[in-house]
Structure 1
Amino acid sequence: MASLFPMLDRRTLLTGLGAAALEAGLPAATLAQARRSLALSARADSLVLRQGGMATPIWSFPGEDIRANRGETIEVALSNDLPAPLAVYCRGIDGAPAGEPLLARPPLAAGANESFQLPLRHAGTFLCDPGLLNDGQPRPLRAKPLIVLETERVSADRDEVLLIEEWRLRPDGTAVAPGTDAKDTTPVYTVNGRTSFELSARANERLRLRFINASQRTVLAVKLEGHEVRVMAIDGEPAEPFPARNGALVLAPGGRADAFVDTAATASILLHDGKEARPVGRLVLSGEAPLRAAPMPSAPPLPSNGLPPQLELKNAQRFELVLGTPADWTRPASFTPSAPPAFRAKTGRAVVLALTNRAAIATVFHLHGHHFRLLDRLDDGWKPFWLDTLAIEPGQTQRIAFQAEYAGRYLIEQVATDWAAPRLVRWYSVE
């Protein structure tokens, strides 16, 4: 199976973090029904993770994916029906300091409830991620997609979410949470909670596919055989459209990519975790007549979310962060808001962070509150897309830049790409 990804060796998998996805133009009636309040309840659940086997106990947020409109503010009512504390973070939602876990919102105790507001300034693919406090817990906890729709119509026929999750199963069929020794466990991957996912479509139908890597530790590549996968957005922010390299999207843990795919034939959906490729589903061409006589013309870029086209780096504030070591970093369960910040940024200024990975394996960096550009080696330009998550190889330094637009206090995270590695956090302020 590895030959299906001839270019995806370990190095390529960790550096090809530009990806793809699809958007459907939804009728106005659908938009008018978007939610303005949201009830989220974390509770015991189960998934069938072994063919013919018993369901595996897990924790989750039951119910449909969350969909809302750009420009809305949603009131989140969160309840914790688990026997462990909970901290939910909406990954990719910029400028929401009142919703920051551990800083504005302490961990939610078992049996407790809370509410907070999320301003949805940007359209895109986001993720309600409960991973901050899930390390070492009795069961793994599923994340939940959050889709914010554009106010403009987008040229696609359907809008589909593909939530990719990784599980580590013991021989007895139980699943271990991340941050736990994974010895004698087997990795299992699901798409939308299924070990064998199937998506049916008509010929020449344009799909907006929202790929989400909800794995807590593993960089993944996903490939749709025999189709051009055209990247439209990365980590929730529109990009200048481009074809995915070798047809594969490479996503860091928590990373998202929107891609347009014009369906042409039944095809396998393949997943590569840096060690081997495996089929995780299929795109099945239905027996109905083609939706149209020929594929649609190339789509224009998705509507801008208003991020600045240029960053003024000459007078940027510059800071260095060392990853891969516990010095100055702490586990979320031990985090205290009174700890000193990693850096203080001035509102309206550009900020450049030099991220050096001292670990022996790749480490994933995630910035809360703002999206960033990945800078070229000489700081004389940047990649033509925005990110909120970046995997950095051992011994390497990457530089990123962002506009400190939103005043407040926000977390930064790092985690090594090993199932047992602890998640570590610090915080920064914009003032």
Structure 2
Amino acid sequence: MITRRAAVAGLATSLVSLTQGAAAQPSAGQMATPGARAEDSLNLTARPQTQKLRPDASAQAETWSFDGVLSPVFRLKHGAEWRLALRNETPKPLSLHFQGVRGPNAMDGVGGLTQEPVPPGGRFEYRFTPPDAGTFLIRPCILGGSAEPLERGLSGILVVEEETPPEVDGDFAILVDDWNLNEDGTLAAFDGEQNPAGRLGNFLSINGRATPHRVEGPQGGRVRLRLANVCNARTMRLRFDGIRTTVIAVDGQPTDTFEPLKASLPFPPGTRYDVLVDLPAEPGAGGTVMALIGNGFPLVEIGVTDKKRPALPAVAPLAPNPKLPQQIRLQDAARKDIAIAASPSQAGTAWTLNGATGDASAPPLLRVKRGTPVVLALTNQTRFVQPMHLHGHVFRLLHPLDDGWEPYFLDTVQVPENRTIRIAFVADNPGKWLLASTVMERFDQGLWTWIEVT
């Protein structure tokens, strides 16, 4: 559980000014995008470092970071090429997955399936042009070895900016993580014990720093928050107190705008929301984004400055993504039932999909031709909620009778205990694509399969 001590320690805030929150000025946790020349790469080194995560800690935690920065934010204009030269100076193999990016299969970053893992001391260049604007996660993805690098801090956000973004007074990327800390502030041991719930943290951070994170805007202004959950197993709800909030994108893809029901949104691991927050017209007013854990934890404090701004137009939806299908012909779909199960084993818990653990050398769960509509029925036979992520594609969450779908696209979905949910997508991206748990211990223990699009 998140302790009261952790909450008190988290009252140390980090103030980000409007110019730092926008794309123009990278701040702590915000890194520059690749250089202007097409032949340039952004050089990034993953390496160990020691630092205090909890402000009142008596000892430092041994984290892994990118060039000494936890939870960095990278920004790229839509249509620009992303070139990232990764050097691995950690003691474990590494590869990076860009969650939600529908890029080329060879750049999907699944060590052991789409590329060879980058060994300690090795280097690999990721090079692709993201087809979609949006908010995407960067995280480790190595078959059998993802939990420790993620839980030591190797994660970030890739923001691909729209050509015509909405008018706002600040654009802030907010990466929520949790850390499993000992009493002295060091990281709890990675001793190989398999908690079937996954490794849960007891200390929350925003962009690698203690909560709450603070942002500000003018009276009557509007800010954009890009909220991303990179926790390993921490599912929570968000509540927006004292502010009017409108969702404009889910998992990086534009959606019909809506205000959260009861000012609250589910926030499982891997999920991203882009929201517009309309600020009060009174100086000194503001609001809070709360994590509904226990009695609640403030994640983001939103303040109002003494400045005023002219009235803004009403919130409008982002332009629809023309590269996504308006319709999915369910009557023509290739269909596959997938049972998620768990049983005790000597190593902890044996996680299976249709009775088998993940195996890159085995035949794919499903092989379809490019352009085929696909419906997957995911049945959770375990006593745990199962967050599942589909690589290389985005999908619709179907209504129970297959008579429609929710009005947004997803790349990650929660499958409740003893329930079946159905997802539908057009298999339009050729390659080998994972369907996998976002709880890294379960993923490492085999809770994944793969689909081939030819």
Which has the higher relative contact order, 1 or 2, with Cα contacts under 8 A spaced 6 or more apart? 1
Structure 2 distance, partners of 1:342, 1:416, is: 20
Structure-2 residue corresponding to 1:17: none
Q: 1:237 to 1:177 in 2, by over 3 A?
A: farther
The root-mean-square deviation of aligned C-alpha atoms, in Å, is 3.1
User: In the alignment, is residue 250 of structure 1 matched against residue 269 of structure 2?
Assistant: no
| CA displacement 1:37-60 (0-9 Å, x = unmatched) | 332221113443323224322112
2:185 pairs with one of 155, 173, 198: 173
Structure-1 residue corresponding to 2:73: 65
User: In the alignment, is residue 382 of structure 1 matched against residue 392 of structure 2?
Assistant: no
Q: 1:186 to 1:211 in 2, by over 3 A?
A: closer
User: In the alignment, is residue 160 of structure 1 matched against residue 172 of structure 2?
Assistant: yes
Matched to 2:129, the amino acid is P
User: In the alignment, is residue 98 of structure 1 matched against residue 106 of structure 2?
Assistant: yes
Q: 1:330 to 1:290 in 2, by over 3 A?
A: farther
State the 4+ residue runs in structure 1 displaced beyond 4 angstroms.
Answer: 24-27, 30-36, 136-139, 177-186, 328-331, 415-423
Gaps of 5+ in 1: 1-23
User: In the alignment, is residue 113 of structure 1 matched against residue 133 of structure 2?
Assistant: no
| CA displacement 1:132-165 (0-9 Å, x = unmatched) | 4332569623311000011124232321101100
2:160 pairs with one of 145, 148, 153: 148
Structure 2 distance, partners of 1:289, 1:38, is: 37
2:91 pairs with one of 43, 64, 83: 83
Q: Helix, strand or coil for the counterpart of 1:314?
A: helix
Structure-2 residue corresponding to 1:268: 288
1:51 pairs with one of 43, 52, 55: 55
2:82 pairs with one of 49, 57, 74: 74
Structure-2 residue corresponding to 1:215: 231
Matches within 5 A, 1:238-317: 238-264=254-280, 265-273=285-293, 275-286=294-305, 288-292=306-310, 294-317=311-334
User: In the alignment, is residue 396 of structure 1 matched against residue 419 of structure 2?
Assistant: yes
| CA displacement 1:335-379 (0-9 Å, x = unmatched) | 653222111122111100000111111011110010000000000
| CA displacement 1:262-314 (0-9 Å, x = unmatched) | 111222331124x442123411222x22223x454222334425211111111
Q: 1:233 to 1:47 in 2, by over 3 A?
A: farther
The offset of 1:388, in angstroms, is 0.3
Q: 1:305 to 1:423 in 2, by over 3 A?
A: farther
Q: Helix, strand or coil for the counterpart of 1:327?
A: strand
Q: 1:308 to 1:137 in 2, by over 3 A?
A: closer
Matched to 1:291, the amino acid is R
Matched to 1:74, the amino acid is W
Gaps of 5+ in 2: 1-20, 25-31, 343-350
Q: How many residues align?
A: 401
| CA displacement 1:234-267 (0-9 Å, x = unmatched) | 0010000000122223222011110001111222
Q: TM-score, normalised by structure 1?
A: 0.84
User: In the alignment, is residue 127 of structure 1 matched against residue 137 of structure 2?
Assistant: yes
Moved more, 263-272 or 106-115: 263-272
Q: 1:307 to 1:390 in 2, by over 3 A?
A: same
Cα contact 1:415–1:424 (8 A) shared by 2: no
Structure 1 distance, partners of 2:85, 2:440, is: 32
Q: 1:25 to 1:241 in 2, by over 3 A?
A: farther
| CA displacement 1:395-419 (0-9 Å, x = unmatched) | 0000000011111111110256999
| CA displacement 1:62-91 (0-9 Å, x = unmatched) | 355211122233222111010111121010
Matched to 1:289, the amino acid is K
Percent identical residues: 30
Moved more, 358-367 or 34-43: 34-43
Q: TM-score, normalised by structure 2?
A: 0.80
Structure 2 distance, partners of 1:25, 1:57, is: 31
Moved more, 33-42 or 138-147: 33-42
The offset of 1:168, in angstroms, is 1.0
Structure-2 residue corresponding to 1:206: 222
Structure-1 residue corresponding to 2:207: 192
